[in-house]
Structure 1
């Protein structure tokens, strides 16, 4: 049918999400009008929008106001209102064209998914397949014919629930079509506030909205001042199966032993991490195909995400950036092949970040088993030769070049080969799993 689409994105300090979102939108469809309506960003949001040749509208802050400002300059006959932290599915425009080829369809939305998974987030996701007043929000993208948007008079000039108000007025004149695919939105509010607490607050706010509470009250309640979980820990891991983990150890022992060792070591580290209170815990697994198996293996108290990137450095950098985007103030990353890593060492890492830019834990093979920071430093990942015996020294060199302060944790043994294993078994460190692993090794 040849629709012309206008994608309208309201922003306020969204530099992390905006770059990725614009790259994806452009990869999905060329010759597309993208309008960024900014409410006074002080980061690089506007520079990013200019880089991608977006039409930029500077507006008074407020989502309803910004969305209307974007719609006012839109030339498309189908308007797509998209949050900066909400990503369209890869077949989005084909689905939208198919949906709106029916002239009776005036407004539609997608189902809603999240960029991290967990037991509670998956539970909330299931409800978005129901098309009701309680499941229609702007996070899932609002797609509407421009003439119908004008008929509705646009969005209300309000700071909260402008999306619910818009849908409520729309449904009086037209059915709202549910497109059978998911957008992926940031789970940052659930992560920062706590999944259950955030949802209870959402229910409370929605009830207050239905009871016509004052808008200023709703705005203040939407982001109430309170203690948040500002420390986050990332675990990099693989699902333990033969041929997928500890391949160098397997060459001189056995695949079964190497896999069993990795599983025992990884579970020990995850259990240590779970001892640490008031932090968010993220498990980044090696590929998307592992998702279901990893979630079943490790259970609750973790947020899950696949690793993204071609090299280890790129995957680590992307993981740090993704977790920092949730509002984390301190982020620490660890691997799963250092059996002596303990909750005490991790707590020390977070504490030392109070006074240092970087905290790092060297391993005996010249690498490191932990690195933590309070903001992103891409140079610590892009210029390092990973999987070599110079990783630690190169990283320290980069830290010094950047003029950053750092704290060094105790050196620990990571285990990649049988020689590493023997050295660790013969060491003096007490460890809750050493006897178990020693017995398994002696029976090979």
Structure 2
């Protein structure tokens, strides 16, 4: 294999937890039970995996904490997450993907079921002319990170799940002197209010259907 060149399709990596009650989307409780929160997490993961499956990719990877379930479609390479914290697990997912196939890597989580194949394709396209692409999240974090060639220093020790996580990442990118591009801001599903807002944007999704089945008031 040879390193990536301009026009090479990126590989798409989804980093996720298996949707087991009590271990995922804990901030959705007590508005929802642990089982309901897990059902929402599973539907968000299914929508995300479907979007990735419909986007152009050199390879599709699920970096998973836990065990695969019937929610996993065909066409994914499953690798175990490794690392002591989220920043380390993100860096490891980039490194493992690059080791398996040295082409640009676009990584997303399972918290933005509104992601589209077009957004993912745009992330890959932007890596033709930029070293890094970032999808900022409304909570101050980021929902997507793409790297033409993974640099572990971008993520090593990065404080995660804070309102300034995205800003700190951008500071590191600027300090590295690399060209970066931004995608549109999306909302991570962390709270019940987030769930309602996101479902309203994607009324035909599995996520919206699951929220409606739980009796949540989804705005028109």
* TM score, norm. by length of structure 2: 0.88
- Check if 1:399 corresponds to 2:173: yes
- Check if 1:305 corresponds to 2:107: no
Q: Structure 2: where are the runs of 5+ without partners?
A: 3-7
Match of 2:5 in 1: none
Match of 1:251 among 3, 6, 30: 30
**CA drift at 1:440:** 2.4
Tell me the SS of whatever aligns to 2:160. Answer: coil
The separation in 1 between residues aligned to 2:31 and 2:208, in whole angstroms, is 20
1:8-407 aligned at under 5 Å gives the runs: 231-287=10-66, 290=67, 294=68, 296-407=70-181
**CA drift at 1:295:** 5.5
- Check if 1:418 corresponds to 2:192: yes
The separation in 2 between residues aligned to 1:375 and 1:303, in whole angstroms, is 20
- Compared with structure 1, are the counterparts of its residues 392 and 254 closer, same or farther at alpha carbon in structure 2 (3 Å cutoff)? same
- Compared with structure 1, are the counterparts of its residues 441 and 236 closer, same or farther at alpha carbon in structure 2 (3 Å cutoff)? same
- Compared with structure 1, are the counterparts of its residues 346 and 431 closer, same or farther at alpha carbon in structure 2 (3 Å cutoff)? farther
**CA drift at 1:238:** 1.4
- Compared with structure 1, are the counterparts of its residues 366 and 300 closer, same or farther at alpha carbon in structure 2 (3 Å cutoff)? same
Match of 1:62 in 2: none
8 Å CA contact retained: 2:187, 2:198 = yes
Runs (4+) of structure 1 exceeding 4 A deviation are none
* TM score, norm. by length of structure 1: 0.45
What is the aligned residue count?
212
Match of 1:437 among 201, 210, 218: 210
The separation in 1 between residues aligned to 2:36 and 2:116, in whole angstroms, is 23
Deviations 1:269-303 (A, max 9, x none): 1011111244200111114xx2xxx0554142010
The separation in 2 between residues aligned to 1:254 and 1:239, in whole angstroms, is 17
8 Å CA contact retained: 2:189, 2:195 = yes
**CA drift at 1:383:** 3.6
8 Å CA contact retained: 1:295, 1:304 = no
Q: What is the CA RMSD across the aligned residues, in angstroms?
A: 2.2
**CA drift at 1:417:** 1.2
- Compared with structure 1, are the counterparts of its residues 404 and 416 closer, same or farther at alpha carbon in structure 2 (3 Å cutoff)? same
**CA drift at 1:239:** 1.4
Q: Structure 1: where are the runs of 5+ without partners?
A: 1-188, 193-228
Q: Which has the higher Rg, Structure 1 or Structure 2?
A: 1
The separation in 1 between residues aligned to 2:42 and 2:55, in whole angstroms, is 21
Deviations 1:310-332 (A, max 9, x none): 01111111111111112332100
Structure with greater contact order relative to length (CA < 8 Å, sep ≥ 6) = 2
8 Å CA contact retained: 1:308, 1:314 = yes
Deviations 1:39-95 (A, max 9, x none): xxxxxxxxxxxxxxxxxxxxxxxxxxxxxxxxxxxxxxxxxxxxxxxxxxxxxxxxx
- Compared with structure 1, are the counterparts of its residues 352 and 233 closer, same or farther at alpha carbon in structure 2 (3 Å cutoff)? same
- Check if 1:408 corresponds to 2:187: no
The separation in 1 between residues aligned to 2:91 and 2:208, in whole angstroms, is 36
Match of 1:183 in 2: none
The separation in 2 between residues aligned to 1:375 and 1:282, in whole angstroms, is 17
